[in-house]
Amino acid sequence: MRLNAYLARAGVASRRRADELIKAGRVRVNGAPGELNTDVRARDMVEVDGDRVRPQKLAYVLLHKPGDVVTTARDPHGRRTVVDLIGRRPGIVPVGRLDADTTGALLLTNDGQLAHRLAHPRYEVDKAYVADVEGRPDAGTLRRLAEGIELEDGRTSPARVRRLGPSRVELTIHEGRKHQVKRMFEAVGHPVVRLHRSLYAGLSADDLKPGASRELTTEEANALRTLVRRPR
């Protein structure tokens, strides 16, 4: 394992911050100064500022995110965060983001490589949203959403669209642009009133109460790794 990844797994810092610690000479491996390209094996001793550090056990948590909770590890304004809901654990952070007022499935983990791949658009991880919108979108509007919408940062990829009610639509996308679903509905004249992520990478939190969470099973975690094994 590369040294910066080892430090991230140990909850010391992000990979980028770990690189800074290594460059500053604050990291030693088996008594010798660590380098950016140092590979760490299971029996190696890694120290930061003279204190030994060890990687944490990988953890995968599925949260039913409620509204009015921010998707970050810490909030400078003192708002409640998704990490507060699961109980603070070193290194466990949310994968991607949901707006404060958006509810539904959110994954948190300390598996940096998996988190990076799940969030990267080239792996095309599906995210399904149920949107309650203003007005009643007609068949032509749903077709436009499915074919892709021209936004200020470019055209969206094709999506899967399903009507659930007169003003309720399920939209499945694999992109992760900021406020994308809200902007897509805004662009077709039907602003979002409520937004719920019903499915993320095949995982649903709808059997959990808002604010509740659970650990993924070994089978679920393995399925996520298989999903992002190769870019699509």
Read off the tokens for 203: 């995982």
Tell me the per-residue pLDDT of 176-199, one tens digit each, with 9 for 90 and over: 899 999 999 999 999 999 999 999
Q: Nearest 5°: CA angle at 74, between 69 and 80?
A: 30
For residue 176, the model assigns a pLDDT of 86
Same domain, residue pair 97 and 196: no
Same domain, residue pair 140 and 193: yes
Same domain, residue pair 210 and 196: no
Buried b / exposed e across 190-202, counting CB within 10 Å, b at 16+? bebeebbbbbbbe
Q: Which domain holds residue 158?
A: 126-200
Q: Could you tell me the CATH number of the domain that includes residue 165?
A: 3.30.70.1560
Same domain, residue pair 161 and 211: no
pTM of the complete model: 0.84
DSSP β-bridge partners for residue 109: 60, 93
Distance CA 43, CA 25 (A): 21
Per the annotation, the verdict on 99 as an active-site residue is yes
Tell me the per-residue pLDDT of 104-151, one tens digit each, with 9 for 90 and over: 999 999 888 898 899 988 999 999 999 999 999 999 999 999 999 999
Read off the tokens for 144: 């436009």
Q: Residue 163: what are its φ and ψ, rounded to 5°? A: -80, 130
List the catalytic residue out of 44, 99, 126, 132: 99
Count the domains in the chain. 3
Task: Summarize the confidence of residues 3-15 as an average pLDDT.
Answer: 84
